[in-house]
Structure 1
């Protein structure tokens, strides 16, 4: 018995024999693609091959649904996404169906989160099928593709999901894209060959030129046979030993098994069903393919225990192009082509009732269905025999494009004119002729516009190619309606309603919060700060106001762009029911991350105080910070730890009567921990000067609190004595620590620095010593005058041949190791040096001023006329010169004393000296302490 495709098969085999020098597999390939077409068409269940986001597929689907009106539609889409389809009514296309999992069970933990997206556009065959099935009574839609769990079960490496888009088009993130009809050559050589001989630049342009346009007006059988032919060709030329090909075959077995299960369960007649799948899968010849109940089933593995969450997220043309490797602008061009074909064919597309942007026109009743013909006729021979009959040049359409692109270019800063519009028109026709095309395509028009308008400069932020995409439809961005949002997203919109803004608007909106006049807006402010922490930077941006410990603002100003960041809010809904719950989970995840540090846990503690009023959570995070600090064996984050614990202690001291128990434990544990690591940190080359300075800063600034909580100061003294650094900066730090402990007086420290400046071998490394002293300002801030003195001595004593090469090294060292402490040094220098140039001539450095020694009668050092000498005399003179200040200090210290009646406020007068001597005699310990402080 002869088949309808026997003449075509014989013709192709004859051509293969004529090409005797061709590949040996050529006859098998040519005969095989005809067999695949014949096999697909003989299947009792009608197979409808499609290509994703193809206007030709959408028009063919629209026509077939109106003619055939099937009762059951099997659609190649993840079966667990079916409940989301009804929510498309509440959205503005394009949107994407999404499955999301953050807590994994059965997949590697490091691959979390997992995400699968399936974008839907109006110019797609699957949307026409979904709209028809959901709005037509008595029609059942069944998704038959593998579940999202199986998508990752069959993926070679779950930790590196495919389809990562460009950052600026990141609407889908790193989600794995699922599409219907992935029609593209599976190896680069074939695609390169087609592009070269088709005189096109990319695959989207080749498909539009050689498939979309010829099939735009084709009848159903011609369309169906050509699509299966293309799918079979790409399938037979694909590498069969690849992991992807094996996965494709498993998908086909999966889908056919689900189809037979549904038919067996419902008794559906294959004649009333329609199977929509990609053309690549329509040419399947696996043993499990077919609707015959006797066909063997595929063993479907169970899903993992991973909990999947489902929802809709906004999508866009550019996101779809980036997700699936299409040329920029191709989806926008497809949308424009779809609208043009609907107008030309006078077809009314299927749209879901209530769909945003679909209008409110009543749907027309469908005509009586046309009975399907069981006979298979050959439409391929006539289609392949000659070139397709394409429409000629549409001058009116092309002229409109040229005028509009010139107008759009002028708005964006280009010096375009009517002459450029004429040039674009003629160049488009010329390029189409050079490329063997009957009429210019949108891609020819783009190339012509770039050549004639853009030339070699782009005056604004948009180039001409982008302007052409905008002209032909633009980057349409979808939106998920309020009813289709998860509970968290709806809660966010409800709680921000008092602001009186349209949060669905796709533009930046300014929110002004006068918290003094409208205290009820405080809840909105709190929510905005939490969203600021959870969402991308551009979604919620504060203009005026900040959130830090101890701060309270009465006015705030925000820039809100939630409309364009709707996807981020929706994905927050996959993590929890409220923003507070998500924030708490994020803080716990940060603190208990395997790579978490004490500084990171302290940051979580601070954020919990800023955003959440939960003492229990704060206490838990603080205990976690103690555990992490005790387990750390490095001090790389000691500066961050010091900065954060100081801020937290200051907050608690200002707001609570007593410190929390975790704070006290952190101080005691940190004191012991850093004392233990201090000798090692001093000698390790990997540990920087800043880290050692931060350790000393923690030990010295927390010393009083630690000692009051039971720590032993001897532990710190032993740790410092055991430290033997070799690098100059750390040696300076050690000297500062010894001075703070009282083991190295300031006079001895001056001697050591003087020896350094006097040693020519040490002078080149002196900047390192200076950087160490600057870092010492963190643990020993009272060394600031000495550091200024050291730098002044260096500038005064070093000769110019040594000083001038030394200065760049000093500046570089300070910038690298002590940038945050240089302002402290600058302020001290401002207090030390005179403020005017005239005062500099008579200025004497404080460290060189002679000590005024006077012998005062009746002083505390002796009896009779013997008075204080040396430091005591200087103290007496100082007290007599500043009698009110001396009275205030005495009252503050609780010391009672009287000035002599004949005392004068001038220290040079004898009465003033007697009065000072009397006060010193009454309080000798205080006098000695003040004298020591003055001299040191």
Structure 2
């Protein structure tokens, strides 16, 4: 241990003994801080401590690189991201280096997709080191942190960020962020203590006020010692045994192992190297730390079988703030501080040749390297000196106030010169109350919100957002064309005929007239595929459709690919072209363990709409047959019915080139007919199966019956299935009656008689609405019951008491809207044919079912029960009998008066009924059996 810091160590121990009574942890902590600084400075390989996206660290890094001119830079960054660094030349900062994996091997499937991002801004020490190394001949840059694969290998549980809700403007999504130079207290009580006594609201504000601003102009030794001291303080106050501390130590063992390995292989001198890491890692005391030969190495496990894909994605100030828990606007303030520091100290930053979006500065040759001087104690002087008056001077603050009022007026605020004065005075007042010599940007933000926003936000932007815009805005990076993956380049090339700037960060409207410009058909097909593949509003159709069998001749599109670069880039990780990715996704969707027959049919429809690949459609269809045969529930029966009907209609339409059903579709109908016949009795009796599902099953069986019979199915299977069914509940009972009617076992008159009996029974009235709901769902399998359903609804509205009717009406409307919206037009059309079209005609209108009841004679009381079936038929349906007689050539008036008969004799049959019965006994008996007489 050197004696450089012995006076400071003794001074801190004396202070600890003065303020504490007896042995305590404080002397040990204070002495340990100095020991950590001494230990870090004694390392032959220079350790440069940094803080994440700190302009003070970037300024100090720029100075040190020009002085030392190292030959090798070891950077705390995932080692497998090294090939991406040269692509930063083609981008506009901020961007993020990304490692992405969707097909996992060796990790739980619930973790996928895996993603690691490392954002890079110009106002960061790591970017200065990268630019220096890539632009200076003979300098080597080595990334020494864990690979993306090891990040997840060493995660004990599901990684942080995988369950985090994704903000709408978060360009990083749910990726795990690599915190380069992260420096924040790991002890919650310490952070709260610092925020309370510093009179600030957020850690970013405390750091800017008490560390960032004082170190902006500090020399290298002072900066290095202060940052090491802060890292030591946070490390020693971190609770021992926490997973976060263990993870940090594992990273340190990994990085020092990689550093010693490179030193041994390259033979470079340690004095010519620079190790850039977070201040928290600069004071590491693990056994593997240090560059001395013979230090134990960490046994690094091999990578898993997961295939990782690498690329650059756009980032933004707000995305960085959201990912690393920084205060809103803190990265924008850091960028403004960076520019202010460059102008104040006359520094020339390092930047990559051809870098987009950064201010061009004259190139400056590197001065001769300065030899390293012995370390001296700079901490004592720094800690004893009063704080330098940082913040905004009067002229700068006045300019901000005036510019903010001007910006606020453009955004709808009724701001004036008086508000500018109020913001100025309030900023000074807040700074004075918080013990600051000058207002900081955070004081200015609070004052602006208080004086201008008040309680109303007239537009999309609040005052805090306007303050960020004033500081430079939420700067969003962009990946250049040359750095894009092959798929993204292919998309840009194929959409070039549209003549739009797809890199622009605003919505572009594309108008496609396929009649006047048939050469744009390829662009149209690609846009439809991108709309399916990309989430959000990256590609959105305004006019046009691409349903089965439809092709628009004119289309209008809103393209916003510039602001959705990340989604397009990550799409490029899945394949080389959009068609390849779409085909892979469709195959993967039907092979998923949770896939259903309805999902497979949906995939078939998507393949027919978007891809010209009959082979793929047949493959997906065969998978749909397999899934349907394996299903043991009928939850998706409505979806299956709707989608197979739509597909059959397409295959039989002229739009389909083949003009006939494919073989898989015939197999699906045969399998579905047998499948639903088997499950029908159980579904009728099962309480958990809804009436809509049973109706969809019957709809499939009845609507596909003719096709199924032509393919070899037997109708007796359906008849036996219905006969074995025992319905549970009123709704399913009504559906069961409708099924029997469709099979010819129950006449409409019997249905009407059953409903009349239900309405006449006061005990059944409360449940009658459920019968009506069942009849409404019965329109799916038996659409010809529409007149009867309208009749039943009308009788229910007329006869049900208000305590039953009124609570049921909302339920009926909700049921129709959610479960059977396609049946509402059927009921509406039938009601339009039944009811009068004008209000005046309603007074004299009589319902058809009432007219039938009036014309039909009252039931005869026969003295003996020997009346024949034919006679009861003719008496109950005289109009039908006359019609049949007319068809048979027997026209006459009906006479229903029975002849006088003895009590033990059958009443005589007279008139045309007798002649009809005598002439055509077989016909009358057959009609009686069909109608149920």
Q: One fold, TM greater than 0.5? A: yes
Render the CA deviation track for 1:564-622: whole Å, top value 9, x for unaligned.
Answer: 00000000110111101111111111111111111111111111111111112111111
Q: Give the secondary structure class of the aligned counterpart of 2:134.
A: helix
Render the CA deviation track for 1:371-404: whole Å, top value 9, x for unaligned.
Answer: 112x110000111113232347511110011001
Distance (Å, rounded) in 1 between the aligned partners of 2:462 and 2:163: 26
Distance (Å, rounded) in 1 between the aligned partners of 2:355 and 2:886: 91
Distance (Å, rounded) in 2 between the aligned partners of 1:810 and 1:673: 31
- Deviation of 1:840 after TM superposition, in Å, equals 2.7
- Give the match for residue 767 of structure 1: 769
Over the aligned positions, Cα root-mean-square deviation in angstroms equals: 2.5
Q: Give the secondary structure class of the aligned counterpart of 1:48.
A: strand
- Give the match for residue 871 of structure 1: 880
* Residues 440 and 704 of structure 1: CA distance in aligned 2, closer, same or farther (over 3 Å): same
* Residues 46 and 259 of structure 1: CA distance in aligned 2, closer, same or farther (over 3 Å): same
Distance (Å, rounded) in 2 between the aligned partners of 1:668 and 1:225: 80
- Give the match for residue 540 of structure 1: 539
1:557 aligns with 2:556: yes
- Deviation of 1:849 after TM superposition, in Å, equals 4.3
1:215 aligns with 2:215: yes
- Give the match for residue 201 of structure 1: 201
* Residues 426 and 671 of structure 1: CA distance in aligned 2, closer, same or farther (over 3 Å): same
- Give the match for residue 586 of structure 1: 585
Q: Is the 8 A contact 1:5 1:378 kept in 2?
A: yes
1:124 aligns with 2:133: no
- Give the match for residue 663 of structure 1: 665
- Give the match for residue 16 of structure 1: 16
Q: Is the 8 A contact 2:111 2:162 kept in 1?
A: no
Distance (Å, rounded) in 1 between the aligned partners of 2:562 and 2:556: 18
Q: Give the secondary structure class of the aligned counterpart of 2:180.
A: coil
Distance (Å, rounded) in 2 between the aligned partners of 1:101 and 1:638: 36
Render the CA deviation track for 1:27-64: whole Å, top value 9, x for unaligned.
Answer: 11111110110011111111100001001000000111
Distance (Å, rounded) in 2 between the aligned partners of 1:833 and 1:935: 29
* Residues 160 and 19 of structure 1: CA distance in aligned 2, closer, same or farther (over 3 Å): closer
Distance (Å, rounded) in 2 between the aligned partners of 1:610 and 1:924: 59
* Residues 86 and 182 of structure 1: CA distance in aligned 2, closer, same or farther (over 3 Å): same
Q: Give the secondary structure class of the aligned counterpart of 1:38.
A: helix
* Residues 362 and 216 of structure 1: CA distance in aligned 2, closer, same or farther (over 3 Å): closer
1:316 aligns with 2:316: yes
- Give the match for residue 401 of structure 1: 400
Q: Is the 8 A contact 1:74 1:275 kept in 2?
A: yes
Q: Give the secondary structure class of the aligned counterpart of 2:354.
A: coil
* Residues 850 and 151 of structure 1: CA distance in aligned 2, closer, same or farther (over 3 Å): closer
1:46 aligns with 2:46: yes
- Deviation of 1:723 after TM superposition, in Å, equals 1.1
- Give the match for residue 384 of structure 2: 385
- Give the match for residue 441 of structure 2: 442
Distance (Å, rounded) in 1 between the aligned partners of 2:363 and 2:520: 46
* Residues 809 and 85 of structure 1: CA distance in aligned 2, closer, same or farther (over 3 Å): closer
Q: Is the 8 A contact 2:747 2:931 kept in 1?
A: no
Distance (Å, rounded) in 1 between the aligned partners of 2:359 and 2:223: 30
- Give the match for residue 849 of structure 2: 847
Equivalent position to 1:725, from 721, 727, 739: 727
- Deviation of 1:248 after TM superposition, in Å, equals 0.7
Distance (Å, rounded) in 2 between the aligned partners of 1:604 and 1:807: 38
* Residues 463 and 84 of structure 1: CA distance in aligned 2, closer, same or farther (over 3 Å): same
- Give the match for residue 570 of structure 1: 569
- Give the match for residue 34 of structure 2: 34
Q: 1:159-198 maps to which residues of 2 (within 5 A)? A: 161=161, 164=164, 166-198=166-198
Q: Is the 8 A contact 1:13 1:27 kept in 2?
A: yes
- Give the match for residue 904 of structure 1: none
Q: 1:508-547 maps to which residues of 2 (within 5 A)? A: 508-547=507-546
What is the TM-score when the length of structure 2 is the normalising length?
A: 0.91
Q: Is the 8 A contact 1:871 1:931 kept in 2?
A: no
Q: Give the secondary structure class of the aligned counterpart of 1:142.
A: strand
Render the CA deviation track for 1:844-889: whole Å, top value 9, x for unaligned.
Answer: 4333445999xxxxxxx9xxxxxx9853643687999xxxxxxxxx
Distance (Å, rounded) in 2 between the aligned partners of 1:504 and 1:822: 47
Q: Give the secondary structure class of the aligned counterpart of 1:169.
A: coil
- Give the match for residue 78 of structure 1: 78
- Deviation of 1:933 after TM superposition, in Å, equals 11
Q: Is the 8 A contact 1:51 1:182 kept in 2?
A: yes
* Residues 190 and 361 of structure 1: CA distance in aligned 2, closer, same or farther (over 3 Å): closer
Distance (Å, rounded) in 2 between the aligned partners of 1:805 and 1:294: 84
Render the CA deviation track for 1:305-326: whole Å, top value 9, x for unaligned.
Answer: 1111100000000000000010
- Give the match for residue 823 of structure 1: 825
- Deviation of 1:628 after TM superposition, in Å, equals 1.2
1:678 aligns with 2:664: no
Q: Give the secondary structure class of the aligned counterpart of 2:557.
A: strand
Q: Is the 8 A contact 2:398 2:424 kept in 1?
A: yes
Render the CA deviation track for 1:704-734: whole Å, top value 9, x for unaligned.
Answer: 1111111111111111111111311000000
Render the CA deviation track for 1:293-352: whole Å, top value 9, x for unaligned.
Answer: 121211111111111110000000000000001011000000000000001001111110
Q: Is the 8 A contact 2:161 2:176 kept in 1?
A: yes
Q: Give the secondary structure class of the aligned counterpart of 1:389.
A: coil
Q: Give the secondary structure class of the aligned counterpart of 1:244.
A: helix
- Deviation of 1:819 after TM superposition, in Å, equals 3.9
Distance (Å, rounded) in 1 between the aligned partners of 2:43 and 2:73: 15
Q: Give the secondary structure class of the aligned counterpart of 2:168.
A: helix
Q: Give the secondary structure class of the aligned counterpart of 2:388.
A: coil
Distance (Å, rounded) in 1 between the aligned partners of 2:23 and 2:478: 51
Q: Is the 8 A contact 1:164 1:323 kept in 2?
A: no
Distance (Å, rounded) in 2 between the aligned partners of 1:648 and 1:2: 83
Distance (Å, rounded) in 1 between the aligned partners of 2:547 and 2:888: 43
Distance (Å, rounded) in 1 between the aligned partners of 2:705 and 2:524: 39
Q: Which moved more, 1:614-623 or 1:437-446?
A: 614-623
* Residues 809 and 643 of structure 1: CA distance in aligned 2, closer, same or farther (over 3 Å): closer
Q: Give the secondary structure class of the aligned counterpart of 1:821.
A: helix
Q: Which runs of 5+ in 2 are unaligned?
A: 857-869, 871-876, 890-919
Distance (Å, rounded) in 1 between the aligned partners of 2:87 and 2:804: 77
Alignment size in residue pairs: 880
1:227 aligns with 2:236: no
Distance (Å, rounded) in 2 between the aligned partners of 1:809 and 1:332: 54
Q: Which runs of 5+ in 1 are unaligned?
A: 854-860, 862-867, 881-922
- Deviation of 1:823 after TM superposition, in Å, equals 2.4
Q: Which moved more, 1:560-569 or 1:584-593?
A: 584-593
1:467 aligns with 2:466: yes
- Give the match for residue 108 of structure 2: 108
Q: Give the secondary structure class of the aligned counterpart of 1:777.
A: coil
Q: Give the secondary structure class of the aligned counterpart of 2:652.
A: helix
Q: 1:235-250 maps to which residues of 2 (within 5 A)? A: 235-250=235-250
* Residues 166 and 817 of structure 1: CA distance in aligned 2, closer, same or farther (over 3 Å): closer
- Deviation of 1:181 after TM superposition, in Å, equals 1.1
- Deviation of 1:170 after TM superposition, in Å, equals 2.1
Q: Give the secondary structure class of the aligned counterpart of 1:506.
A: coil
* Residues 494 and 757 of structure 1: CA distance in aligned 2, closer, same or farther (over 3 Å): same
Q: Which moved more, 1:361-370 or 1:327-336?
A: 361-370
- Give the match for residue 339 of structure 2: 339
Distance (Å, rounded) in 1 between the aligned partners of 2:25 and 2:349: 44
- Give the match for residue 454 of structure 2: 455
Q: Is the 8 A contact 1:774 1:822 kept in 2?
A: no
* Residues 150 and 650 of structure 1: CA distance in aligned 2, closer, same or farther (over 3 Å): same
Distance (Å, rounded) in 2 between the aligned partners of 1:332 and 1:277: 23
* Residues 727 and 106 of structure 1: CA distance in aligned 2, closer, same or farther (over 3 Å): same
1:147 aligns with 2:147: yes
Q: Is the 8 A contact 1:181 1:278 kept in 2?
A: yes
* Residues 850 and 264 of structure 1: CA distance in aligned 2, closer, same or farther (over 3 Å): closer
Distance (Å, rounded) in 2 between the aligned partners of 1:800 and 1:252: 77
What is the TM-score when the length of structure 1 is the normalising length?
A: 0.91
